[in-house]
Amino acid sequence: MPSSNSPALPASPAAPVSRSGSPRAGRARRVLPGFGLTLGYTLFWLGLIVLLPLSALLLKSFSLTWEQFWTAVSAPRVLASYRLTFGASFLAALVNLFAGLLVAWVLVRYEFPGKRIVDALVDLPFALPTAVAGISLTALLAGNGWIGQYLEPHGIKLAFTPAGVVIALIFIGLPFVVRTVQPVLEDSEKELEEAATSLGATRWQTFWRVILPSILPALITGFAMAFARAIGEYGSVIFIAGNMPMVSEITPLIIIGKLEQYDYAGATAVAVVMLLFSFVMLLVINALQGWQRRRAGGAS
Mean pLDDT of 33-48: 80
Judged against a pLDDT cut of 60, whether residue 242 lies above it is answered with yes
Please tell me whether residues 44 and 168 are part of one structural domain.
no
Judged against a pLDDT cut of 60, whether residue 18 lies above it is answered with no
Please tell me whether residues 222 and 96 are part of one structural domain.
yes
pLDDT of residue 167: 93
Among the ranges given (35-39, 87-91, 236-240, 263-267), the one the predictor scored with the smallest mean pLDDT: 35-39
What average pLDDT is seen over the chain?
Answer: 82
Judged against a pLDDT cut of 90, whether residue 169 lies above it is answered with yes
Mean pLDDT of 93-101: 94
pLDDT of residue 35: 72
Please tell me whether residues 52 and 198 are part of one structural domain.
no
Q: State how far the alpha carbon of 192 is from the alpha carbons of 26, 111, 209, 214, in Å.
A: 45, 21, 10, 11
Distance CA 97, CA 216 (A): 11
Among the ranges given (41-50, 127-136, 254-263), the one the predictor scored with the smallest mean pLDDT: 41-50
Please tell me whether residues 57 and 191 are part of one structural domain.
no
Within-domain flag for 174: yes
Q: Which domain holds residue 55?
A: 35-63
CB atoms within 10 A of CB 273: 17
Please tell me whether residues 102 and 206 are part of one structural domain.
yes
Within-domain flag for 17: no
Yes or no: say if 159 and 138 are a contact pair by the CB < 8 Å rule. yes
Choice between 92 and 24, residue whose per-residue pLDDT is larger: 92
Q: List the one residue out of 67, 41, 49 whose CA is nearest residue 265.
A: 67
Kindly report the pTM of this predicted structure.
Answer: 0.78
Please tell me whether residues 145 and 134 are part of one structural domain.
yes
Domain boundary among 13, 48, 63: 63
Distance CA 204, CA 186 (A): 20
The percent of residues in the chain predicted with pLDDT above 90, rounded, is: 22
Please tell me whether residues 277 and 210 are part of one structural domain.
yes
Among the ranges given (132-141, 157-166, 258-267, 278-287), the one the predictor scored with the smallest mean pLDDT: 278-287
Please tell me whether residues 51 and 119 are part of one structural domain.
no
